[in-house]
Amino acid sequence: MYYVYGDESIVDDTVVYGVVIAPQTQVEEIETIIKEVKLSYRASPTVRFHCRQIFHHDTRRKSAWSHLSEIQCHQMATDLTVGLGGKGLLTTIGHLTSREARKVLPSVGQHHEVEIENIKQLVPFAFVAAIGPVALDPKFKKQIKLWVDPDSSMVKWWGGNRQAQRLLSIGEMNFELLKRVDEVVPQNLQTKETPTLLEIADLLSYSSARALAKRGKPYDYVFEDILRLIAPVQYPIKWMD
């Protein structure tokens, strides 16, 4: 059995979905490494490592990470990345930019076309690009459980407004039955639980988005280095009107 963890990150017009795949037998050891790194930076092992909190001064100073400098935060992220090397993790990212994406989702069946008004509408496509090769691989098929970072925000979709997190599922299409089969659906849609390894999916997606956006901001090199260290399989979406 494999446990799969996914999270999104959006930087400017760059949308990234990061997926971390861990053998079930390795999850406990990986969680222990994450807790040890947190303790080494004088933080409770139960405090969530969340990039948009840790790497932004105003939010960090109001959090349990307020005692860390920006340099220490970058080093902690690097320590996490290095510490998890060789632990059997597989990683993928799907990514695209809003300037490359369609401006309208075409009509499907009885559903009318949908205008792309919110960059979050692109997240499900990055999700499918990242997880599709895993979910449909015979090695993993029917052997994975998925957790995603909960997101109850609403986006326009075929058939009306939908919760963003409920668009994150995948399965093979059976055209005789006209429905998806062997569908992989997040385990935490109802429970909203956030397993520890979602923090690594967050680090993967955030670092990837910072690196791929190429904004020329200070410390972007840190995230470029993390992306090189993690070395996820990348699935860019070239999707033009």
Average pLDDT over residues 29-40: 98
Cα 58 to Cα 16, 54, 204, 205, 209: the distances in Å are 24, 9, 22, 21, 20
Q: Strands 2-11 and 14-23: what pairing?
A: antiparallel
In angstroms, the CA 87 to CA 41 distance is 22
What percent of the chain clears pLDDT 90, i.e. is strictly above it?
A: 63
pLDDT at 111: 72
Residue 229 lies in a domain: yes
Burial class (CB in 10 A: 0-12, 13-18, 19+), 231: exposed
Q: Strands 104-105 and 14-23: what pairing?
A: unpaired
Residue 192 lies in a domain: yes
122 DSSP assignment: G
pLDDT at 156: 81
Read off the tokens for 205: 């997606």
pLDDT at 166: 79
Condensed to tens digits (0 to 9), the pLDDT of residues 86-117 reads 999 999 999 999 988 878 878 777 777 888 88
What pTM did the predictor assign?
0.91
pLDDT at 150: 86
pLDDT at 174: 43
Residue 241 has pLDDT above 50, yes or no: no
CATH code of residue 227: 3.30.420
Q: Which residues pair with 144 in a beta bridge?
A: 2
Structural domain including 66 reads 2-236
pLDDT at 202: 98
What percent of the chain clears pLDDT 70, i.e. is strictly above it?
A: 94
Residue 241 lies in a domain: no
Domain count, the chain: 1
Residue 51 lies in a domain: yes
Helices 198-213, 70-83: crossing angle, 10 deg rounding: 120
Average predicted confidence (pLDDT) for the chain = 89
- What's the CA angle centered on 102, arms 99 and 105, to 5 degrees? 150
Residue 202 lies in a domain: yes
pLDDT at 216: 80
Condensed to tens digits (0 to 9), the pLDDT of residues 166-212 reads 788 776 544 344 445 457 888 888 888 999 999 999 999 999 999 99
